[in-house]
Structure 1
């Protein structure tokens, strides 16, 4: 069951992405847990309590802390969480490589594109889980 966080300061965009994620999960009969956060700071408060998210869908341009800084913070504690940037700005694409982001999607995102990225995220999560059990390099 992938646990997915959506972090976007635009409530309309966050609701749209959430609806796409829920349709993706329903189409695959996949049980998911989805939470939305209106700021990077609010997400970090929750994440510090329980580091239990598998996929992060992050807006780049937010308030005091942007999505890139949030991703860097998360990467310090987890190499396996799948990070996907969803933004209207292409200026930060190179920084996505610094945090080993799975993808960088431009707004407005299409359902098919997001579904493909989420499919890849699940494959990577399953691979990581198998490697933990088998001691993969």
Structure 2
């Protein structure tokens, strides 16, 4: 499932973009949830409340904000979302590039440029699907890139995911279930209550694993031997 947002203050233009996106998705048998926003502040509120999108298409100049400010808001909440600007204001192209906007489509070229931009954007999202962990609850959907996960620890009935930016994500699942869902040989149990990302290990000293964020985690002896073997394999594949 893909999650796509469209933000455009002009109602007719919003409807036109939404229709073109829906047609593209239907013609290519792509399952997606599409959300349309006529005001950028409504999109910002949803992002601040934790709403997730893989792809966001946005106008640049709107009454309540401009696309540059909106792009910064999006980057703050969803640093890995793909941004596509659909606008008539070419003067913003350089700024859009600096904000790592994926595509810049003039409204006059919507029919010509939008399908190609969607094709490449969706392929990028799909290629990253096996490199991320999805947290989905009744209240929120969030994707975490595997490379951003340092370690995971048990906390009661929850698994606490500690990330490279020091954020902590909680998911109400057992560590065993999370480990299966990660589906990556780079994540290893070091003891019953802790999983570490091998890519985030700096060193092993006796029965302690030193991680990239400075945290030290105890490793049980049986797990330690397995960890050393997995580390050797990992580094042989990445050197």
2:24: which partner in 1? 24
Q: Which whole-Å deviations, capped at 9, do the CAs of 1:63-87 have from their partners, x for residues lacking one?
A: 1211111111111232210000000
Q: Distance in 2 between matches of 1:65 and 1:95?
A: 15
Equivalent residue runs for 1:14-93 within 5 Å: 14-93=14-93
Q: Distance in 1 between matches of 2:50 and 2:9?
A: 22
1:114: which partner in 2? 114
The structure that has the greater radius of gyration is 2
* 1:65 to 1:110, Cα distance in 2 relative to 1, 3 A: closer
How many correspondences in the alignment? 137
CA contact (8 A) 2:47 2:77 kept: no
More helix by share: 1
Residue segments in structure 2 that go unaligned for 5+ positions in a row: 134-144, 148-198, 200-239
TM-score (norm 2): 0.54
TM-score (norm 1): 0.91
CA contact (8 A) 2:4 2:55 kept: yes
Q: Distance in 1 between matches of 2:2 and 2:115?
A: 14
RCO greater where, 1 or 2, for CA within 8 Å and sep 6 or more? 1
When the two chains are superposed, the root-mean-square deviation of aligned CA atoms in Å is: 1.8
